[in-house]
Amino acid sequence: MAAEKIIETRSIRARFGAAVVLDDVNLSIYRHEIVVIIGESGCGKTTLMRILIGLAKPSSGTVFLEGAPLTRHAITKKVGVLFQNNALFGSMTVGENIALPIAAYTDLDKNAIEKIVRMKLGMVGLAGYENHLPSELSGGMKKKAALARALALSPSILFLDEPSSGLDPISAAEIDELILHINRSSGTTMVVVTHDLASVFTLTRRVIMLGKVKKGIVAEGTPEFLKNECKDPFVKQFFNRQPRPGTTGWQTV
């Protein structure tokens, strides 16, 4: 049976004034998979993610979620987002942060919400931390708390923006393992935007790579294929962490 598309874009174009950032982007994301979107700085990764989660509108083109054009209602019910800066409210406890979307978008009573909060914290390894403030947590723990909040409404698709950003290698590896565990245990589709090549090889069998010059998708495939077999010199350079020609060595003036 063919894999089921959960997100599809058709001819997405994004521009800021006269500057075109994305041009004719067509991609499909399939149910239950983890797909990673990568690319050099300024290639449009963040813009594409904002379009996919409804925070920005494309200049032209359409985003489909489960076969229907993307709407605010569908985003609220079906999409969770882990932001790069975690976006936790500092004046609220961890539990209150997680409870906020549940209280806003369901009719559940306080006891039911508290039960869900405890369950989500348990999923990310933070059982018992509901009364802590974000400032009392380490960087890795804040990331886990933000992940629990993103999972609060049990979304069918989760977007993660640079989930290992700012973390030490051990904490980053823990976040990677947590992402894999949640995907395997719940079947949640995950779209990860990252620069971390170690995470790319750990998390996914499908990478979508954007390029600043093309203003769209330059390559797609497994991390191993893109590193070792792809003929595009930019892709090989990126995956093998090679500097741009002419950018090394001392310059004289």
Nearest to 227, CA basis, from 217, 240, 218: 240
123 residue type, one letter: M
What is the DSSP pairing of strand 157-161 with strand 60-65? unpaired
What is the DSSP pairing of strand 79-82 with strand 34-39? unpaired
Q: What's the rounded Cα separation, in Å, for the pair 231 and 87?
A: 39
Q: Collapsing DSSP states into helix, strand and coil, what is residue 26?
A: strand
pTM for this prediction: 0.92
Q: Collapsing DSSP states into helix, strand and coil, what is residue 90?
A: coil
Residue 76 CB-half CA count within 13 A: 10
Q: Which two tokens stand for residue 226?
A: 């893109």
39 residue type, one letter: G
* 33-52+71-240 belongs to CATH 3.40.50.300: yes
- Per-residue pLDDT in tens (0 to 9) along the chain, 253 residues: 568 999 999 999 999 999 999 999 999 999 999 999 999 988 999 999 999 999 999 999 999 999 999 998 888 889 999 999 999 999 999 999 999 999 999 999 999 999 999 999 999 999 999 999 999 999 999 999 999 999 999 999 999 999 999 899 999 999 999 999 999 999 999 999 998 999 999 999 999 999 999 999 999 999 999 999 999 999 999 999 888 776 665 555 5
113-133 per-position pLDDT tens digit: 999 999 999 999 999 999 999
> What are φ and ψ of residue 244, in 5° steps?
-65, 145
Q: What's the rounded Cα separation, in Å, for the pair 61 and 26?
A: 9
What is the reported pLDDT for 242? 84
C-alpha dist (Å) from residue 96 to 93, 115, 218: 5, 12, 42
Give me the residue label for tokens 């004046």: 91
Q: Is 170 exposed, middle or buried (0-12, 13-18, 19+ CB in 10 A)?
A: exposed
Nearest to 144, CA basis, from 156, 154, 160, 153: 160
What is the reported pLDDT for 77? 84
Q: What's the rounded Cα separation, in Å, for the pair 123 and 117?
A: 10
Q: Collapsing DSSP states into helix, strand and coil, what is residue 130?
A: coil
Segments making up each domain of the chain, as ranges:
33-52+71-240
26-70 per-position pLDDT tens digit: 999 999 999 999 999 889 999 999 999 999 999 999 999 999 999
> What are φ and ψ of residue 238, in 5° steps?
-65, -50
Q: Collapsing DSSP states into helix, strand and coil, what is residue 161?
A: strand
